A and B are shown apart, each in its own frame.
Chain A
Amino acid sequence: MPKANDYAILFDASHCTGCRACQVACKQWNDLPGEATVNTGSYENPPSLSADTWLRMKYTEGVVSDEVFWDFTRDACMHCSSAACVEACPTGAVNYREGGVVTVDQDWCIGCRNCVQACPYDAIHYDEHKGVVEKCTLCYDRVSNGLQPACVTSCPTGALHSGSYADMKQLAETRLAQLKEAGYKDANIYGLAEMGGTHVLYVLLKHPSTYGLPVGTVTEKKKVASGWLSAGIAAAVLGYAGVHWVAERREQVGGERR
């Protein structure tokens, strides 16, 4: 679980207008180039995170019983306490820093992309020019100097907040209570239990899956443990069968020769 004094971000979907100021601020502060994309019929752009896009707004749109809905969520690294990228990294280049921030040591990364495959949020990406992976740093260079993350400073509606984990959690719970009282019975906080507790918390108006967020996430440790368990049983069962068949066949052939 995140510690009370860890760095944290709170995203409040009930205040977000999808203006993408945060997306632009992230690009500016981190000096990330724009990307050439193709119109896919949605205002959402770019279509996914990449090595050059560490934060974007995700638009979920559609029609339910003649009612149009258009919902916005933040799509970026969640800075998990039990981070799949950290646990999948074979060199320790992707690691937890002070305050629970997850970053990549680009001088140590070998570019194996195991973290890219492991992340349940698709928030870490391979930079083919640099040969290493890139992701949101929670603006570690800013927060460790007492500033707010670039995305948070740019938000015009108060949908983004940053501070200590304890404060952000408190703020999320207060807002949740307000929303429930205002009649949003499906409102919830996302990130309290996911991947050991994430350092980015979301206040959502609807079930997380309606925003395309993964629910019931399994930590990398558990996946690896069940993988080895399955492999162990497979090795025993298939190995036994192989030895048995060779011996049986040998006896048959021996019998025929006699």
Chain B
Amino acid sequence: MTGEWGIYIVLYFWLAAMGGGAFLIALGLRDDRAKRSGAFLAFIGIVIGALLLVVDLGQPARFWHLLAGFHPISVMWLGSAVLALSGLGLFLMLILREWPDWLVWVTAILVLLVVGYTGVLLMATARPFWSASPLMPWIFLASAYTSGAALLVLLGNREPGLHRIAFNFALIEIVLVAAHLIWTYPAAQQQVQAALTGELAWAFWGFVLLGVALPLYMEAQRKAAALSALLVLAGGFLLRYFIVYAGQVGVLRF
């Protein structure tokens, strides 16, 4: 391990966003079963994601140090706190037959924070590709909704609004990513080039073509909804992959 934020972080960003997005969207649907499966998906994503984060630490056995103090300015600390609390809220939702309104609201806000803080975490670094534009939280939130809707579609939810959400947010996402690349280019030329034409081009173009363009085309043609949803999920992974790795291009490790 060279100390860069690597594959565990990418997987965590992806799982938490997918599960969290599915939960937040399911709450907006009328179907109670969808809400429950959304809570289940978010719980799984957050538990596995949290385990990945612990494994990624240099001292995994000390993970509890995170919860032993109060450091709200540290985005990492706040993220750990909302991650733990949202897991608790989702667990309560899974074991309770009737959901009190406050529990739904509190858990929804916590899950929204889990999905959103990752963007703030990257923005609050000295890495220009992450911090030179304010769009990181926008991209991660839009992508969480795209992936969340796709995950619900993949699991057989027939709500027509889901396709609309996945379609529109995928469009927003690609516009945001393009805006981010242009915005950060003056400060992060080397990193943007790595994403567009360099060592991470496979992930970037994989995201653009397989994760956004092809599903949008299939959606417009109303073909193979499940396959298109699967491609959107893979795109969500590739998006986070190239963002996390491109941000650290040029950081010397020898």
- Asked if A227 and B126 sit within 8 Å, CB to CB, the answer is no
Give the contacting residue for A245; candidates B68, B71, B168; CB below 8 A: B168
State whether the Cβ of A96 lies closer than 8 Å to any Cβ in chain B.
no
- Docked complex: A226-243 residues within 8 A CB-CB of B: 226-231, 234-235, 238-239, 241-243
State whether the Cβ of A67 lies closer than 8 Å to any Cβ in chain B.
no
**Interface, chain B (partner A; CB < 8 A):** 1-5, 25, 28-30, 56-59, 62-63, 65-66, 68-69, 71, 73-77, 80, 112, 116-117, 119-121, 123-127, 131, 134-138, 141-142, 145, 159-161, 164-165, 168-169, 172, 251-252, 254
- Asked if A117 and B5 sit within 8 Å, CB to CB, the answer is yes
7 shortest interchain CB distances as A-B pairs: A111-B58, A131-B58, A126-B3, A227-B120, A90-B77, A231-B137, A246-B161
A131 to B145, CA, bound (A): 35
Chain A residues in 8 Å Cβ range of B121: 114, 227
- Asked if B125 and A47 sit within 8 Å, CB to CB, the answer is no
- Asked if B123 and A223 sit within 8 Å, CB to CB, the answer is yes
Which of A92, A226, A246 has the most B CB atoms < 10 Å from its CB? A246
- Docked complex: A131-151 residues within 8 A CB-CB of B: 131-132
State whether the Cβ of A220 lies closer than 8 Å to any Cβ in chain B.
yes
Chain B residues in 8 Å Cβ range of A100: none
- Give the contact-size bracket for chain A: 35 or more
The secondary structure that dominates the B interface is helix
Chain A residues in 8 Å Cβ range of B120: 224, 227-228, 230-231
Tell me the nearest residue of chain B to A51, going by C-beta: B3
Chain B residues in 8 Å Cβ range of A239: 112
Query: Count the A-B residue pairs with Cβ separation under 8 angstroms: how many?
Result: 176
Chain B residues in 8 Å Cβ range of A131: 57-59
- Asked if A48 and B252 sit within 8 Å, CB to CB, the answer is yes
A121 to B127, CA, bound (A): 11
- Asked if B165 and A242 sit within 8 Å, CB to CB, the answer is yes
Shortest beta-carbon distance from B116 to chain A in Å: 4
Given contacts A89-B74, A90-B74, A238-B172, is CB(A47)–CB(B138) below 8 Å? no
State whether the Cβ of A249 lies closer than 8 Å to any Cβ in chain B.
yes
Given contacts A88-B124, A110-B65, is CB(A132)–CB(B254) below 8 Å? no
Chain A 166-198, CB within 8 Å of chain B: the 1/0 string? 000000000000000000000000000000000
- Asked if A90 and B66 sit within 8 Å, CB to CB, the answer is yes
- Asked if A93 and B65 sit within 8 Å, CB to CB, the answer is yes
Q: Can you list 22 A-B pairs with a CB-CB distance of less than 8 A?
A: A47-B252, A88-B125, A89-B71, A89-B74, A90-B76, A91-B71, A111-B57, A111-B58, A113-B5, A116-B3, A128-B1, A227-B120, A227-B137, A231-B119, A231-B141, A234-B119, A234-B138, A234-B141, A238-B138, A245-B161, A249-B160, A250-B161
